[in-house]
Amino acid sequence: MTMLKPLAFLILIVCTTFVVTECRTIQPNDANLIQQTCKKTPNYALCIQYLNSDPKAPSADVTGLALIMVNVMKNKANIAINKIHQLIGKSPPDQKATLNSCASKYNAIVVADIPSAIEALQKGNPKFAEQGANDAANEANSCENGFSGKSPLTAENNAMHDVSVITSAIVRLLL
Amino acid sequence: MDRTNNSNHDVPFSYVSLPIGPHEDEAPVESRGKWKARPVVFCGLLVLVSLVAFNGYKGSNGNITTLTSNEDLKQKTIPSHKWKPVSRGVSAGVSEKSNRLFTKSNNIGGMLFPWNNTMLAWQRTAFHFQPEENWMNDPNGPLYYKGWYHFFYQYNPNGAFWGDIVWGHAVSRDLIHWIHLPLAMVADEWYDQNGVWTGSATILPNGDIIMLYTGATDALVQVQNLAYPADLSDPLLIDWIKYPKNPVLVPPPEIEVYDFRDPTTAWLTSQGKWRISIGSKMNKTGIALVYDTKDFKTFERIEGILHAVPKTGMWECVDFFPVSTKLDIGLDTSARGDDVKYVMKVSLDDDRHDYYALGTYDENGVDFVPDDTNKDVGTGLRYDYGVFYASKTFYDQSKERRVLWSWIGESDSEDADVAKGWASLMGIPRTIVFDKKTGSNLLQWPVEEVERLRMKRCKFHNEKVMPGSVVLLNIGSASQLDIEAEFNIDKKDIEKIKQTNEEYNCETSGGAANRGALGPFGLLVLADEGLSEYTPIYFYVVKGSNGNLKTSFCSDQSRSSLATDVDKSIFGSTVPVLEGEKLSLRILVDHSIVESFAQGGRTCVTSRVYPTTAIYENAQLFLFNNATEATVTASLNVWHMNSAFINDKQVKLKS
């Protein structure tokens, strides 16, 4: 009788191990797609970071991964817009003009590039998503280059540029 | 125009300077004396004052603006990394040219170029088709019916970017003066709820009009739908009916549901059935599927495919039509015969370019065979080497010609498009014929009706342009022009230069600033008098190893604008020039679009140009010759072009 307890315990361990390892084998394929996709972008580490932080990523196809990145783009653009609004009130006159230009550029990203990209990816016409992502990177560049002195938006512009470039590379895989 | 920006812009723009403009940082020309460019050529009936330019000549009666010498140019070589687009990293096999991505520069410019409404307003064209506002892309279902040319187009009624696509509609008596009509089709059915996409028209012998178009369904599947005019007695074809049992075609099982779009015009088979093609892909091989039908309601998938080319990716906007090898007329899409060749054309999703190949068509085997397998569909010739996509032809039965429509997108930032409230143009419709002289390409030429817009003509005859010179052509404001020009290189110059193995490639050449023995020479369009902005359209000739001349034709946007947020690529290609032919070009300048044609349309280049200074009355036209050895003689006709007043006429239905 006393043999049963350790036996039951052993069976429990074996079964748990079996179940746990089986669960783990479901993940690798999806994690692989994320890794494979990110390898084809200019910034593997950043790509992995953003995709891994989205719960939808492991079960997404490449289109889904692209849509996740477009959402990251939207977040970055909104962060930049908020920062611009904070800065505009207290900035010197020469910076104000550039900040206004930047606001216009980020607005174009939010009202044009991103909706275009989302629709293009959802409807299977990815080239318009690539165009939107490329434009967003260019807008961020233009904003950054527009400051004659030190840019107060370097972090935001770099983030926007880097995320957009990753998105563009992922979309290219769909063409 | 507002020129204040010029005086305080010491912005070092990263291009090689051609003539010296207001750039303080460059090698001074004081040693050559202060020169000015002065208008010296009189237009109209006056005989041109011949400008004699000696190399290095400079005087206070300075008749010409001389280019800097070769030594000065060497000092201004631009590091190539500043010109390459950002690499996509390990994404192999991708053309870097396929999408504009500016380098992430280290604050090269300093000043963000402040676009203002005056500059943006100038960009609208005077005689190219465009809607009043918002986004446009692919041409759809062009046709001629009851005295009217009909044109439909992909349109976003909600903004200056792609999305919410419906069918715009316009009509014209002459392919140039357009009247906007109400939208022909909107996304009001489940089978096109997510997009009323591209399609083509077929006119049946009994006069029925069939429109086949792609719909993106509520489930995001790409299907083909049938539509037809509600009332064939209405020559304006305002109302359209969608066949109640749509879709008529769904993606076949081996094709992805998002790789099935853009049905062609149908052609009659010898069995009396109608045949269409739809582009698609399998992995990375572009393919053209084939279907037969009797009534456009039920279709039979034909086994095999019309053609396939590996590594070309998705084939969009397939077009397939016959051309006559003997006559300079167009042929009905169903024509066949001994003196007929076939053209297969595709728009490659991968690089946003339109490619075509000439070949033969075996109806029974359902097979298109290109004449030259080295120049296959998607790997060989392009209709146009600039901004030009989703093009589509139709047979104009009233004038027996085949006419080509093309979508010309923007090359500026989305920010500018949103600010100006519109994006995209159509190219001027072009006739297409087989080039009997070369036998290996098509010729495209603006439809003759565009010539009705010609107003005052300025004629220049045998203008001698010495190496390293720039000549202002005094024609007045130069935003709306039709230019025909011929160039001749002095034979002595050709004979005396050495042969070379040089392979010239417009795109990587560095543009008109880089001098060769026999080129570049041509015209500077949309140039301001101080040459701070200009767009060279030029020939570049190379004397090859067997003494044969090889000619390239390019459009160089690298100095087209002081703005830093526009595309500054150089477009172009080689162009066949046969024995005894002069170098000839035609250019249509219409504000922010420049369409250039070499050797009667053998090589065509369309570009978008967005100057900040060379606009309105400041836009000028120059002749230039930046070759080191060749003296060039140029003769030109330059017409000012009237507006076609396209957006003044709209027909709106009362709701």
B218 residue type, one letter: D
- How large is the average pLDDT for residues B372-393? 97
Give, for B485, the enclosing helix (H) or strand (E). Answer: strand B480-489
Residue B346 burial (CB count, 10 A): 29
CB B346 within 8 A of CB B316: yes
Of B105, B108, B161, the CB nearest to A112: B161
Strand-pair category, B518-527 with B620-625: antiparallel
Residue, of A11 and B239, whose pLDDT is higher: B239
How far is it, in rounded angstroms, from Cα B78 to Cα B103?
A: 14
How far is it, in rounded angstroms, from Cα B433 to Cα B409?
A: 25
**pLDDT the model gives residue B367:** 95
Nearest chain B residue (CA) to A124: B258
CB B227 within 8 A of CB B185: yes
Q: Tell me which residues of chain A have a pLDDT lower than 50.
A: 23-28
**pLDDT the model gives residue B113:** 65
Cα of A100 to nearest chain B Cα, Å: 10
Cα of A55 to nearest chain B Cα, Å: 24
A161 residue type, one letter: H
**pLDDT the model gives residue A93:** 85
pLDDT tops 70 at residue B575 = yes
Inform me whether the C-beta atom of residue A168 falls under 8 Å from chain B C-beta atoms. yes
Structure tokens at B186: 């909107």
Task: Collect all residues of chain B within an 8 Å Cβ-Cβ radius of residue A36.
Answer: none
Secondary structure string (H, E, C) spanning A15-59: HHHHHHHHHHHHHHHHHHHHHHHHHCCCCHHHHHHHHHCCCCHHH
Of A116, A141, A169, the CB nearest to B161: A116
pLDDT tops 80 at residue B31 = no
Contact A124 B352 (CB under 8 A): no
Task: Collect all residues of chain B within an 8 Å Cβ-Cβ radius of residue A175.
Answer: 313-314, 349-350
B459 residue type, one letter: K
How far is it, in rounded angstroms, from Cα B281 to Cα B313?
A: 6
Confidence at B646, pLDDT banded by 50, 70, 90:
confident
Residue carrying the six token digits 């996304």: B187
Give, for B201, the enclosing helix (H) or strand (E). Answer: strand B196-203
Residue, of B56 and B480, whose pLDDT is higher: B480
Inform me whether the C-beta atom of residue A134 falls under 8 Å from chain B C-beta atoms. yes
Residue, of B51 and B248, whose pLDDT is higher: B248
Collapsing DSSP to helix, strand or coil, A136 comes out as: helix
Among A91-100, B201-210, B261-270, B548-557, name the one with the lowest average pLDDT: A91-100
**pLDDT the model gives residue B30:** 37
| Geometric angle at alpha carbon B182, from B178 and B188, rounded to 5° | 140
Contact B99 A142 (CB under 8 A): no
Look over chain B and give the mean of its residue pLDDT values, rounded to a whole number: 86
Residue positions counted in chain A: 175
Of A97, A112, A130, the CB nearest to B418: A112
The dihedral formed by the CA atoms of B26, B32, B33 and B35, expressed in degrees to the nearest 10: -70
**pLDDT the model gives residue A6:** 82
**Structure confidence by residue, pLDDT tens digits, B170-229:** 999 999 999 999 999 999 999 999 999 999 999 999 999 999 999 999 999 999 999 999
H helix runs in B22-144, sequence order = 70-74, 117-122
CA distances B470 to A107, B319, B594, Å, are 42, 42, 20
| Percent of chain B residues past pLDDT 70, beyond the cut | 82
How far is it, in rounded angstroms, from Cα A164 to Cα B391?
A: 29
CA distances B290 to A91, A115, B223, B336, B462, Å, are 63, 34, 15, 18, 54
Contact B101 A128 (CB under 8 A): no
CA distances B464 to A29, A116, B467, B623, Å, are 70, 51, 10, 10
**pLDDT the model gives residue A19:** 59
Task: Collect all residues of chain B within an 8 Å Cβ-Cβ radius of residue A137.
Answer: 86, 101-102, 104
Among A155-159, B153-157, B288-292, B547-551, name the one with the lowest average pLDDT: B547-551
Residue carrying the six token digits 């001389």: B66
**Structure confidence by residue, pLDDT tens digits, A16-63:** 766 555 544 444 455 699 999 999 999 999 999 999 999 999 999 999
Query: Testing the interface with B: which of A47, A131, A160 to mutate, by most B Cβ within 10 A?
Result: A131
Inform me whether the C-beta atom of residue A115 falls under 8 Å from chain B C-beta atoms. yes
CB B21 within 8 A of CB B36: no
Structure tokens at B314: 């998705």
Cα of B79 to nearest chain A Cα, Å: 19
Contact A124 B222 (CB under 8 A): yes
Contact A40 B91 (CB under 8 A): yes
Structure tokens at B572: 């172009």
DSSP B19: S
Nearest chain B residue (CA) to A114: B161
How far is it, in rounded angstroms, from Cα B515 to Cα B535?
A: 16
Structure tokens at B436: 């009997």
CB B445 within 8 A of CB B457: no
Query: Which residues of B are designated catalytic?
Result: 138
Phi, psi of B396 (to 5 degrees): -90, 100
CA distances B491 to B110, B570, B583, B599, Å, are 47, 28, 13, 19
Rg (C-alpha) for chain B, rounded Å, is 25
- Closest to B470 (Cα-Cα) out of B522, B537, B535: B522
Structure tokens at A13: 């361990």
Residue B110 burial (CB count, 10 A): 15
Cα of A138 to nearest chain B Cα, Å: 6
DSSP β-bridge partners for residue B86:
none
Residue carrying the six token digits 């318009």: A128
**Structure confidence by residue, pLDDT tens digits, B107-134:** 334 345 678 999 999 999 999 999 999 9
Cα of B120 to nearest chain A Cα, Å: 15
Structure tokens at A152: 């107060």
H helix runs in B13-109, sequence order = 70-74
Q: At what angle do helices A62-89 and A93-108 cross, to 10 degrees?
A: 160
Contact A142 B564 (CB under 8 A): yes
DSSP β-bridge partners for residue B584:
B486
Q: How many CB pairs under 8 A join A and B?
A: 138
Residue carrying the six token digits 């065509």: B604
Of A134, A161, A173, the CB nearest to B99: A134
Inform me whether the C-beta atom of residue A50 falls under 8 Å from chain B C-beta atoms. no
Contact B101 A138 (CB under 8 A): yes
Residue, of B341 and B38, whose pLDDT is higher: B341
How far is it, in rounded angstroms, from Cα B288 to Cα B308?
A: 7
How far is it, in rounded angstroms, from Cα B48 to Cα B25?
A: 36
**pLDDT the model gives residue B35:** 36
Cα of A115 to nearest chain B Cα, Å: 8
**pLDDT the model gives residue A3:** 72
How far is it, in rounded angstroms, from Cα B480 to Cα B482?
A: 7
How far is it, in rounded angstroms, from Cα B598 to Cα B523?
A: 13
Contact A39 B90 (CB under 8 A): yes
- Closest to A152 (Cα-Cα) out of A78, A88, A75: A88
**pLDDT the model gives residue A31:** 67
Exposure string of B603-614, with b = 16+ CB inside 10 Å and e = fewer, is bbbbbbbbbbbb
How far is it, in rounded angstroms, from Cα B79 to Cα A174?
A: 33
Taken in order A45, A46, A47, A53, the sign of the CA dihedral is positive
CB B279 within 8 A of CB B318: yes
- Closest to B600 (Cα-Cα) out of B586, B615, B590, B621: B586
Contact A125 B258 (CB under 8 A): yes
Collapsing DSSP to helix, strand or coil, B289 comes out as: strand
B149 residue type, one letter: Y
How far is it, in rounded angstroms, from Cα B39 to Cα A136?
A: 43
